[in-house]
Structure 1
Amino acid sequence: MTTPHTDADPQDRTHRSPAGIVGGVLLLAIVGWLGIDALVTGHGRTPWLALAGMILVVPLIVAFTLRPAVYANPDRLRIRNPFRIVVLPWGEIAALRSGYSNEVLTTAGAKFQLWAIPVSLRARKKAARREARATAETGNAGGGRSGAFGRSAGFGLGGGAVQGGSTRAESDQVMADLRELLEDQGQAESAQGEITVRWAYEVIAPVVAGAVLLAILLATG
């Protein structure tokens, strides 16, 4: 989910959803196959309806699957959501909240959802089971020996396994890393500034065009 990002800032870390990317690619393949088939073999108004549908649907698929990303560096957090790009200096962020979705709360009270870091309840349950199992193993390893040496050895066997790898769900671990960055950089001079929000017209424009064309075709049919 986390990869180095070098396009805008070499310090950026990019967070994206692998499942979203895979799903987007599959959906685009299906839409492309059906749409191109309709364009080539369709008769009458079918090719035009297929073209309008593709102009409408393809940008939406890209917007909600391939486009979302979160870029973090020591100065700011940049959120690329389906229809907006939000740049937040760490000094303007009040909290990073995780519930049924991951969100950023600003000092002014605004809220922005992190589409690129979706919450997986299934992954959380798996992580909870791993943590419970690791805790049980730690207890068994510690209880099987007596004395100061036994307790120390038991902690090394069980505790090392827990500490060696995170038992959190991947999205929760990413949020924990972002919270740590917020705590470290929130008061830094370079992390102050204004929040900027830009609408993604490169996505909105083709969606609107496709919707208008489809509406005209349906209305005149």
Structure 2
Amino acid sequence: MSQYDDEFKNVKHGLPSENKTQQAKFNFFALFAVVGVIFAIFILLFGQTINTAGQQLNTIGGNSPAQMISVATLALLVGSIQSWVFKARIKSRALLYIFFSILGGAVAGLFGGILMNSGLNYGAGNGFIVGGVTGAIAGGISSLAQNGVMNNSRYGSKWFGYSFFSWAITFAIGFAISWGLRGAVDETISLALSAAFLMISSGIALVIFLNNTPQIEFS
């Protein structure tokens, strides 16, 4: 057995009991779900104002400004919950962790808006493409920066891989839901459903990641 395997084994022996970790992971998912539902309700209540603001931004700078704000907002919510999940690891650097989430979301929104301006604008298929690219960029940028905040030298590649692919998949499906439903239901409803899906699926993805790599949080 290699020295790395010995170290890994010792870390695993230091994990909390199975019941405590399962309860913690359920709490993590529940928090994502609750925030997702609240965010969806907020969109339903203020959807007209949000749509009007988005249209005004589109007249100023195309689709990029509105996309930057919307994706950065989602990244803010996800990053804030993640900072609580990993509070023992990031300690006093929670705000920096959240900032990197917002930064990744803003950059991703910029590129997503550029894709929309190029003609990939609405429809489930286009939403899947734009959402996938947007999520991959957001997850990739934020996780690379967050690895330093988390002192994540051992599991850095896993955190990057998880963030890159999970954000890409959830955003692809979330955008496809929102864009695919437009015309069939009110735009506010499609946006609210998409936002709720993104938050809840982000919680599921994090629990799956922690099942496979519990040492990143529970060691």
Q: Same fold (TM over 0.5)?
A: no
Bigger radius of gyration among the two: 1
Bigger relative CO (Cα 8 Å, ≥ 6 apart): 2
TM-score computed with the length of structure 1 as normaliser: 0.25
TM-score computed with the length of structure 2 as normaliser: 0.25
